[in-house]
């Protein structure tokens, strides 16, 4: 299919009455990229995105500028914007940085984890499982991010979550493509391993579970036939 013929459909966030329009547009577009609602390489326009979100072009322009600074999109000379294609080298670099950041964030959150926090993580993990069962890729992706975000934010002094979310933002479209292509997804519930480590206050086991969770996702992406067309060079 010619990518220029594809259409875009963004699911906007519910807007808090106290939330400014600029922030709402930014958060809606940010989630759309992170969840893979926008296909890499698909040309977008400020006018088209404004129409999709039923807003004026100004907040869209500001949101795109912020997303460009975060590395989530590229702005071309003809004023069109797009989620960039990936190179295999950059993909591996992002994944390796993600492992370093997230294992550190998990370990530093460990001392602050209480039984009520573990119950919330179990609830989120059950939600992820239900999303997988009903083939809800976007719901599962959002819940997975919520699980990791909740864990890392247990550390009241953390500064790593914005950096981690920046990595998610750049990897999101490719995770979505892989999950959509996989017919069956046999996996070990690494979140349960992480929860067990939290109960035991075992930092080594927690780091190992988080790293395995990330590597499992990387392996699923690299194993999907046809995904390399979304990369500027073949995944090796």
Say how far apart CA 155 and CA 134 lie, in whole Å: 33
pLDDT at 236: 40
| pLDDT tens string 152-199 | 999 999 999 999 999 999 888 777 666 655 545 546 789 999 999 999
pLDDT at 177: 64
More confident residue, 161 or 90: 161
CA 22 → CA 29, 63, 68, distances in Å?
11, 7, 15
Topology annotation, domain 88-227:
1.20.120
- Whole-structure pTM value: 0.83
How confident is the model over 29-47, as a mean pLDDT? 86
In which band, very low, low, confident or very high, does the pLDDT at 203 lie, cut at 50, 70 and 90?
very high
Backbone phi, psi, residue 31, to 5°: -65, -35
Say how far apart CA 194 and CA 206 lie, in whole Å: 5
DSSP secondary-structure letter at 182? -
CB count in 10 Å sphere of residue 140: 20
Q: What is the mean pLDDT of the chain?
A: 84
- Contact (CB, 8 A) for 194 and 206: yes
Listed ranges 9-23, 50-64, 186-200; the one with the highest mean pLDDT: 50-64
Q: How many CA atoms lie within 13 A of 73 on its CB side?
A: 30
- Contact (CB, 8 A) for 92 and 235: no
H/E element, 82: strand 81-82
- Contact (CB, 8 A) for 179 and 185: yes
How confident is the model over 110-126, as a mean pLDDT? 97
Query: What CATH number has the domain spanning 21-82?
Result: 1.10.10.10
Sign of the alpha-carbon torsion through 23, 26, 29, 33? negative
pLDDT at 3: 46
Q: Where along the chain do its domains lie? A: 21-82, 88-227
């Amino acid at each position: 299919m010619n990518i220029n013929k594809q259409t875009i459909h963004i699911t906007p966030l519910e807007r808090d009455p106290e939330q400014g329009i600029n922030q709402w547009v930014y958060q809606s577009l940010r989630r759309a990229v992170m969840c893979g609602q926008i296909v890499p390489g698909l040309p977008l326009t400020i006018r088209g995105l404004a129409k999709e979100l039923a807003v004026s072009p100004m907040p869209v322009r500001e949101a795109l500028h912020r997303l460009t600074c975060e590395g989530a999109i590229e702005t071309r000379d003809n004023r069109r914007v797009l989620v960039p294609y990936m190179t295999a080298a950059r993909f591996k670099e992002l994944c390796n940085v993600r492992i370093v950041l997230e294992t550190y964030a998990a370990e530093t959150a460990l001392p602050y984890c209480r039984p009520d926090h573990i119950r919330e993580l179990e609830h989120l993990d059950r939600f992820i499982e239900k999303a997988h069962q009903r083939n809800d890729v976007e719901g599962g992706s959002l819940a997975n991010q919520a699980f990791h975000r909740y864990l890392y934010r247990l550390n009241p002094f953390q500064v790593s979550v914005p950096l981690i979310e920046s990595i998610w933002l750049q990897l999101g479209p490719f995770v979505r493509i892989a999950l959509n292509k996989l017919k069956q997804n046999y996996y070990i519930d690494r979140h349960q391993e992480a929860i067990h480590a939290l109960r035991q206050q075992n930092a080594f086991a927690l780091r190992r579970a988080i790293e395995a969770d990330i590597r499992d996702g990387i392996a699923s992406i690299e194993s999907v036939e046809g995904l390399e067309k979304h990369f500027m060079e073949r995944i090796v």
